[in-house]
Structure formats: C-alpha cells, structure tokens
Amino acid sequence: MPIIEAKGVRKVYRGDGVATEALRGVDLVVEAGEFAALVGPSGSGKSTLLHLLAGLDLPTEGEVWVGGVPLSRLSRGERARFRLERVGLVFQAYNLLPVLTALENAAFVLELRGLPRSERERRAREALAALGLEDKVGRFPRQLSGGEQQRVAVARALAAEPLIVLADEPTANLDSQNGLALIERMKALNEEKGVTFLFSTHDPRLLEHVKRIVRLEDGRIVGEERR
Ligand code: ADP
Ligand code: ADP
C-alpha cells in the first residue's frame, strides 16, 4: 500500500470574489522509503499540495489517502489527530515554540498524544540525537542557529515515528554549512532508518540527493524523474 496517494486533486481558493485554481488535477503516489522532491516555480502549487497531503486542508475535488485512509472522510478533529499520529510536518507555520527547549519542542507532539513523560523524553532524545543535536537538548530556540532550529523541527516531526515527513522548503534560509548538515541528516534517516520524505525545494544541494523529482507547473504535474 502506498503511504500517500492523491487522485484527481483540484484545489480552488476563493476569496474577495476571485477564484484561484492552485491545483488542476494532480495524481501522485508516494511509496515507503522514498526521498522525493517537489519542484516548480513559485505559485505552481507545491505548498498547496503539501498542505492537502498533510490533511491541513481538503481538496475541492479528488481525494488524498494517507496510509490507506481517505482524508475527506475524517472530521476536522480526526484529521488533526491523524496528522499528529501519522504525518511529520516541517512547515514554516509550525515554528518551534520559543518558550520550550529543544527537548520539550521535540516531545511536544508526543505530549499532545498523551504518552507518558519518560517515553516522550526517550523518543525526543533519540530523534534529536539522530539529527546530531544530543548536546543541544536543553537549549531554547534563540540559543540555536537557524540550521539547528530546523533540525529540531525535523526531530520533532520524527519523534512521533510518522509514516512520512512532509517538508516545505526545509533548507530555505539556511547558510551553506547549516543547509548541508540538515541534508546529510535527512539523507541518513532515509537510508539507514527508511524514513520516507517528500519535500518542496529549490535547493540544488538537496536535489543532488533525491531519488525522485516531481515537477509542478501551474497546478499540474508536468514531469517526473527517477534516479
Ligand atoms: P508554491 O508553493 O508552488 O509557491 P502555492 O501552493 O503557494 O505555490 O500557490 C499556488 C497558487 O495558489 C498561487 O497562485 C497562490 O497565489 C495561490 N494561493 C495559495 N494559497 C492561497 C490562499 N490561501 N488563498 C488564495 N490563493 C492562494
Ligand atoms: P486547525 O487546522 O485544526 O485549526 P492548526 O492548523 O493550528 O489547527 O494545527 C493543526 C494541527 O497540527 C494541530 O492539532 C497541531 O497540534 C498539529 N501540529 C502542530 N505542529 C505539528 C507538527 N510538527 N507535526 C504534527 N502536527 C502538528
């Protein structure tokens, strides 16, 4: 069973009497273990697609299945719960909470899930260690570099042991050293632990490592490359 399947997905945003067709019929299947990139010009629909795959929003037409579950059949609350349990998100809108340490940030999603403290901490420490942050667990976001903060965000996504990690431009705004460190860690997680990743990116250093590139233009998939 694919981890994610989108069929005939259209998304129309309506507001101020203007309708924008952000996605015009997208079909996409992501299998376990993929390390795949969504590329395309600004406005081509990458963020919209990632939001729909995460169940943050529903398509105007078509359906998205995650782990075999059709997201449109879930209530809003069920979708939020499903996301917490099955999907790891690394989106700009989910920045780290400034009043929590790296460890607390990484454990936060598990707290929402009601796991006991010892289990939350064990998993959060493990996820942070996998991203090379074992000696930064007690730091607050302001005491971390941008790259370290982004690695904490990936660790938080991983701590819940999701089916897939969805990331919107994970290396954007990182200097080259921080960007490379994040890329190395994501790649290692994919190769050594089999974590499935789908991310939007423009970053040529990240694209070097992907096994699949899905190209979006004007709300449609216009090309696909596998290596
Ligand atoms: P990308 O991530 O590739 O830059 P987006 O998915 O953000 O593309 O945007 C696709 C199209 O949908 C663009 O035309 C954008 O202006 C429009 N759009 C995105 N989000 C909204 C929204 N919340 N309301 C109205 N239009 C939107
Ligand atoms: P809603 O769309 O239900 O109004 P939000 O868009 O604010 O809510 O958040 C959606 C859900 O995603 C919330 O339940 C929130 O707790 C959860 N969430 C926040 N950050 C993450 C994350 N990194 N990974 C998974 N789920 C998250």
Q: What is the pLDDT of residue 156?
A: 93
| Per-residue pLDDT at 113 | 85
Tell me which fold the domain 33-44+76-226 belongs to: Rossmann fold (3.40.50)
Do 79 and 116 contact (CB within 8 A), yes or no?
A: no
ipTM of the predicted assembly exceeds 0.85: no
The CA 120 to ligand 1 mean position distance, Å, reads 36
pLDDT of residue 185: 87
Give yes or no for residue 39 CB within 6 A of ligand 1: no
Whether the CB of 20 sits within 6 Å of ligand 1: yes
- DSSP class of residue 10? E
What is the position in ligand 2's atom list of the atom closest to the CA of 156?
Answer: 23
Ranges of residues in the chain whose predicted pLDDT is under 50: none
Q: What is the pLDDT of residue 16?
A: 85
Ligand 2 pocket member 26 (CB < 6 A):
no
Atom of ligand 1 nearest to the CA of 14: 25
User: What is the distance between the alpha carbons of residues 110 and 119, in angstroms, rounded to a whole number?
Assistant: 9
| Helices 176-193 and 117-130, packing angle to 10 deg | 110
Residue 30 in contact with residue 196, Cβ under 8 Å?
yes
- For residue range 32-66, what is the model confidence (pLDDT) as tens digits? 999 999 999 999 999 999 999 999 999 999 999 99
Exposure on the CB side of residue 174, measured as CA atoms within 13 A: 26
Rounded Cα distance, 8 and 61, in Å: 7
The CA distance from 68 to 224, in Å, is 23
Distance 219 CA to ligand 1 centre (A): 10
Helix, strand, coil share of the chain (percent; to 5): 40, 30, 30
Nearest CA to ligand 1 atom 17: 22
Which ligand gives the minimal distance to the CA of 40?
A: 1
Give residue 169 CA to ligand 1 midpoint distance, Å: 15
CA 119 to ligand 2 center in whole angstroms: 21
Q: Give me the pLDDT at residue 181, please.
A: 87
pLDDT of residue 1: 84
For a pocket test of ligand 1, which of 10, 18, 20, 201 has the largest count of ligand atoms closer than 8 A to its C-beta? 20
Task: Give the Cα separation of 206 and 30 in Å (integer).
Answer: 18
CA of 83 to the centre of ligand 1 (A): 22
The domain limits of the chain are: 33-44+76-226
- Which ligand has its closest atom nearest to the C-alpha of 166? 2
Q: Give the tokens for residue 24.
A: 């015009």
What pLDDT does residue 129 have? 93
> Atom 23 in ligand 2: which residue has the minimum CA distance?
89
Element (H, E) at 180: helix 176-193
pLDDT value of residue 2 = 94
